Structure 1
Amino acid sequence: MLIAHLSDPHIRPRGELYQGLVDSNAMFDAAVHHLNALDPAPDLVIVTGDIVDRGTAAEYEQARTALRSIRQPVLLLPGNHDDRDAFRTAFADHSYLPSTGPLHFAVGDKGPLRILGLDVTIPGEHHGDATKEACAWLAARLSEEPERPTLVMLHQPPLESGIACIDAYNCRNGKGLAAVLAAHPQVERLLCGHVHRFMLARFAGTVLVTAPSTTTAIALRLAPDAAPASYVEPPAFLLHRWQEGAGLVTHLVPVGNFPGPLPFF
């Protein structure tokens, strides 16, 4: 099973730029074009939040247009730039999304891996929170199929990256989330976005990875007093490959055209 993992496209209304400077819509379209050229093709596509930039109806209309080019089933999770109610309205045809409350979901019919989405966003805030209610929902879902390999999606990672400006807005109550995950060893990956960079860490007995944004990258500035900044680095997404007996391998897929193929390896 192959799962393409995109994040943080920050889609804007048609003709408008992200932060007034960057064409995030064109960059997301390029990522989808690259994804559609993969051979073999992914079985499933997931997007871990910040589908749009300001949560407006015009942005979600544009997002639906962009997502229509993806040939595979798509699972969407909101981020801090999304509006939960507008998200729910825009993607009402995504039957896995609940009709009320946080947008948690459980999907088990797309292949051997089960996918759980945990909505840790807080309306009006940029940080996330793995609340007691969210952790209880996750524990209940994981208890349903304890032997089945599972991926858990959330937007804000529940740890510090070392980039101070974004760590101020991570997912709070990481200890509570860690306690749930540690009790359920079937979780193969904790899949996040939010930091606009690729990051990998051990977390609660599993592996946490963040997918880079399909638009700008938050500057890798690890000094505690570093000024916040972003760069237009080469965008990328992740490809998670599951094979029975071998487990899950995660690849970083740069988006674009590069010199090659060259006759060596």
Structure 2
Amino acid sequence: MEYDGKCSPTIRTRTIMPLIVQLSDTHISRPGQLAYDRVDTSTFLRQAVTAVQRLPQRPDAVVITGDLVDHGQAEEYALLQELLAPIRDIPLFLLPGNHDNRDTLRHAFPAQPAWMASGYAQYSVPLGPMQLVVLDTVVPRRDQGALCPERLAWLDETLHQCRERPTLIAMHHPPFRTLIDGMDDIGLLEGAEVLEAIIQRHPQVQGLISGHVHRHVQTLFGGTRAVIAPSTAHQVALDLSPGAPLAWTLEPPGILLHAFTPQGRLVTHQITTLSFAGPFPFQ
């Protein structure tokens, strides 16, 4: 609501382009198994799904940016399907992380968009007037990520084809240093510089979203905003001391909501997945 300079309020209408919910690093294990013998990742994902359901606007898509399960096993993906069932009416887009198995993921979710013929889990899909481009950064049996020349060439051509559409790139390993040394040591260790140059050549890229770090982190990359989502479960401890040992915490988990304005500008909100009171009207 806004005022017209007098005493009478006028109603401001707002048109919002696609709303995209980002979940990340769900790390679903076999039924009854706890991560680190303490973290019930399935219960945390149920809370995240509930948070999606209580949003005042229905999302146009849900993107999960990797580490969907903990060991890449079919039983884990079956449980993931079950946990995501309450939001099955919302288009779902998945990509693998270093804990996933590409082939097992493909068989568990056959309705996902077609991947590259080479087997990389990369695809490009329209979401209304914008484009979602998914990159595969996985190096099998390694924690770190990479973007080889084949994957980068595909991205460059794909961005050229959708050059008139506001675009969001999704990947698992972030292409920038977070200053958490233990995570940076297993980040995107190949292809980040070329990726940044490609993005700079394609100004329609409004944002790049990723996971892997289990914290909400933002920076500029290639002239656009790069955002890491928190985990829906456990978080990596925040310690920027050089060489600090990696640890995890049970800080409140979260998800991200990415919205595009009518002008194609990306706006991101962080949302806790924990239950809370409200909303209450301001008096």
Number of aligned pairs? Answer: 264
What's the TM-score, normalizing by structure 1?
A: 0.96
1:118 is matched with which residue: 135, 156, 160? 135
Deviation string, structure 1 residues 193-238 (Cα, Å, up to 9, x no partner):
0000000000011110001000000000110131211001111000
1:74-127, CA deviations, whole angstroms, 9 ceiling, x for partnerless residues?
A: 00010000011111111122234446511101101x312100000011101111
CA distance in 1 between partners of 2:264 and 2:140 (Å): 40
Normalized against structure 2, the TM-score is what?
0.90
Among candidates 11, 14, 19, match of residue 2 of structure 1: 19
| Cα distance in 2 between the residues matched to 1:100 and 1:205 | 30
Q: Which amino acid aligns with 1:190?
A: L
The alignment yields a C-alpha RMSD, in angstroms, of 1.4
Give 2:163's aligned amino acid. P
Q: C-alpha separation between the residues in 1 aligned to 2:280 and 2:168?
A: 35
1:233-244 correspondence runs (5 A): 233-244=251-262
The reply on whether 1:261 has 2:279 as its aligned counterpart is: yes
Shift of 1:262: 4.2
Conserved 8 A contact 1:96-1:107: no
* 2:234 pairs with one of 202, 216, 222: 216
Q: Find the counterpart in structure 2 of residue 69 from structure 1.
A: 86
Q: For residue 79 of structure 1, what is the aligned residue in structure 2? A: 97
| Identity across the alignment (%) | 40
How far apart in 1 are the matches of 2:213 and 2:173?
A: 8
Unaligned runs of 5+ in 1: none
Distance 2:43 2:192 in 1: 35
Deviation at 1:36, TM superposition (A): 0.8
Q: Which amino acid aligns with 1:51?
A: L
The aligned residue for residue 206 of structure 1 is 224
The aligned residue for residue 245 of structure 1 is 263
Match of 2:123 in 1: 105
Measure the CA separation in 2 of the matches of 1:169 and 1:118: 17
List gaps (5 residues or longer) in structure 2. 1-17
- The answer to whether the aligner puts 1:46 opposite 2:76 as a matched pair is no
Runs of 4+ in 1 over 6 A off after TM superposition: none
Aligned amino acid, residue 54 of structure 1: H
Contact 1:153 1:191 survives alignment (8 Å)? yes
Match of 1:11? Answer: 28
Aligned mates of 1:227, 1:196 — CA distance in 2? 15
* 2:13 maps to 1:24: no
Alpha-carbon separation, structure 2, partners of 1:246 and 1:72? 22
- Tell whether the 8 Å contact from 1:120 to 1:171 is kept in structure 2 after alignment: yes
Higher alpha-carbon Rg: 2
